[in-house]
Amino acid sequence: MLRTFKRGTHPPESKFTENLPLEDFDAPQILAISLSQHIGAPAKPIVKEGDLVKVGTKIGEANGFVSANVYSSVSGIVKGFKKLPNATGAKVMHVEIENDFKYDAVLLPAITEPTKENLYERIREAGIVGMGGATFPTHVKLSPSKPVDTLVINGAECEPYITCDYRLMLERGEEVLKGVGYLKTVLGVEKAFVGIENNKKKAIEYLKSIAPEGIEIVALKAKYPQGAEKQLIYSLTRRIVPTGALPMDVGVVVANVHTAYSVCRAVDKGEPCYMRAMTLSGDGIEKKGNYFVRNGISFEYIYNQVIGSVPVEKTRKVISGGPMMGFSVSNLLPVTTKGTSSLLFLTEKQVNVSKPTQCINCGRCVRGCPMNLNPSRIEPMVIESHTEKLKTMNPMSCIECGVCSYNCPAKRPLLSAIRLAKKIIKEGGEK
């Protein structure tokens, strides 16, 4: 029987790009590389206007332990600094670079004799972060303050539309597994699981055929949110991460398959993290596909390259990330970063535009919630701003997967209400 977790949902997969191999995406003349591509303090700029840079020149230095180095993705000249909105709308500092289209590179020396210490240092130096979209600096995850015995690798790719991890596993499987091996060495663990949803059978078969001892490829039921950290750990190890606890509290570290791939590139090729695999999809564009995209390319440039003959009016919503947990962007000014796993240009048919109506007490939001919450009861308490009652409903354990909103036939904005509930509790009663 396929391993899985309790509850969840199964939205239409819409994996239109699953059979399209990864291609290189051409970069524009001007790029803006964000100094804040990770969770934690923004990197400090270490270049100035007029400096010449190459592919792999460090342009931002990690500012503290929970931060990450930032590298140029092209060769050219630094034009200056600019504040631009990121995909969440927050304004962050970017380094503007004029591309000379030569792609001269300055890479780190390849590591030929890997040790726990030199691998850790390389992962930190290369600026690798959680490439599944969480963007937590990987070197921080690899320094757990509690003993761990298991590495869990997320190859679930449970969000609809996105297929870049699937293509990486199929086309770069050896590098993905080598990266898993390097992560195991740093953590000093014997066992790693790679969890992959069963709708990616070719990837499961291929990785099984090449996986070395100590890395187990596990087929998981195709169900959302199979790739959420707590659900994935439960599916693969049957360990339960309590509310407020971290995976390391149950002896586990979780990383994404793309993170493992980036680790391998940094170790074997000396390639810092300046490019990533991305899916471009949705019926608002003609040239859907999976691409290796350099950091710092504006969403507008990407859109213009892939729209083809589709009328602009067809695109109703642009989402950075997946449709369940990604961010709907209000303009195309943001640029690609280490965490941009996909850009979706969705049409009216592909987005929910209906207005919320009254709750009909159908219980679908409760039945689907993987964290066993009751969103239909939380929402009215948020409207009343009833802090004490909210505390008894445990909204802090919500993983913000969006299953409740997706399942609700009345289209209640349940996820937004639960986010607000968290804020109310954190701020001690203030809405």
Structure tokens at 305: 């390259």
Contact between 369 and ligand SF4 by CB under 6 A: the answer reads: yes
Structure tokens at 351: 């987005």
C-beta of 84 vs 410, nearer to ligand SF4: 410
Neighbours of 376 (CB within 10 A): 21
**φ and ψ at residue 21, rounded to 5 degrees:** -60, 155
Structure tokens at 95: 């380094």
Which one of the spans 173-181, 363-371, 382-390, 422-430 is the region binding ligand SF4 (CB under 6 A)? 363-371
Pair 254, 154: CB distance under 8 Å:
yes
Of residues 176-215, which lie at the interface with ligand SF4 (CB under 6 A)?
none
First vs last C-alpha separation in the chain: 45
Label residues 122-156 b or e (16+ Cβ within 10 Å = b): bbbbbbbbbbbbbbbbbbbbbebeeebebbbbbbb
Residue 413 CB, nearest approach to ligand SF4 (Å):
10
Which of 82, 360, 380, 423 is in the footprint of ligand SF4 by CB under 6 A? Answer: 360
Name which of 425, 383, 375, 377 is nearest 401 in CA terms.
Answer: 375
C-beta of 268 vs 400, nearer to ligand SF4: 400
Which one of the spans 161-169, 234-242, 285-293, 360-368 is the region binding ligand SF4 (CB under 6 A)? 360-368
Of residues 370-389, which lie at the interface with ligand SF4 (CB under 6 A)?
370-371, 373, 375-376
Q: How far is CA 328 from the centre of its chain?
A: 15
Which of 90, 110, 210, 362 is in the footprint of ligand SF4 by CB under 6 A? Answer: 362
The set of residues, in sequence order, having a beta carbon less than 8 Å from that of 356 and lying 6+ positions away, is 410, 411, 412, 413
Residue 194 CB, nearest approach to ligand SF4 (Å):
24
Which one of the spans 19-27, 135-143, 280-288, 355-363 is the region binding ligand SF4 (CB under 6 A)? 355-363
Contact between 392 and ligand SF4 by CB under 6 A: the answer reads: no
Which of 22, 418, 420, 424 is in the footprint of ligand SF4 by CB under 6 A? Answer: 418
- Cα–Cα distance, 25 to 92 (Å, whole number): 24
Which of 268, 400, 422, 425 is in the footprint of ligand SF4 by CB under 6 A? Answer: 400
Contact between 363 and ligand SF4 by CB under 6 A: the answer reads: yes
C-beta of 164 vs 378, nearer to ligand SF4: 378
Which one of the spans 157-165, 245-253, 267-275, 412-420 is the region binding ligand SF4 (CB under 6 A)? 412-420
C-beta of 11 vs 368, nearer to ligand SF4: 368
Neighbours of 311 (CB within 10 A): 8
Which one of the spans 47-55, 274-282, 323-331, 365-373 is the region binding ligand SF4 (CB under 6 A)? 365-373
Please give the C-alpha separations between residue 196 and each of 169, 175, 207, 341, in angstroms, as whole numbers.
Answer: 10, 17, 10, 17
The set of residues, in sequence order, having a beta carbon less than 8 Å from that of 25 and lying 6+ positions away, is 278, 291, 292, 293, 294, 297, 302, 305
Which of 275, 365, 393, 420 is in the footprint of ligand SF4 by CB under 6 A? Answer: 365
Strands 76-85 and 91-99: antiparallel
Contact between 407 and ligand SF4 by CB under 6 A: the answer reads: yes
Which one of the spans 113-121, 145-153, 164-172, 394-402 is the region binding ligand SF4 (CB under 6 A)? 394-402
Which parts of this chain interact with ligand SF4 (CB under 6 A)? 359-365, 368-371, 373, 375-376, 398-404, 407-410, 412, 414-415, 418
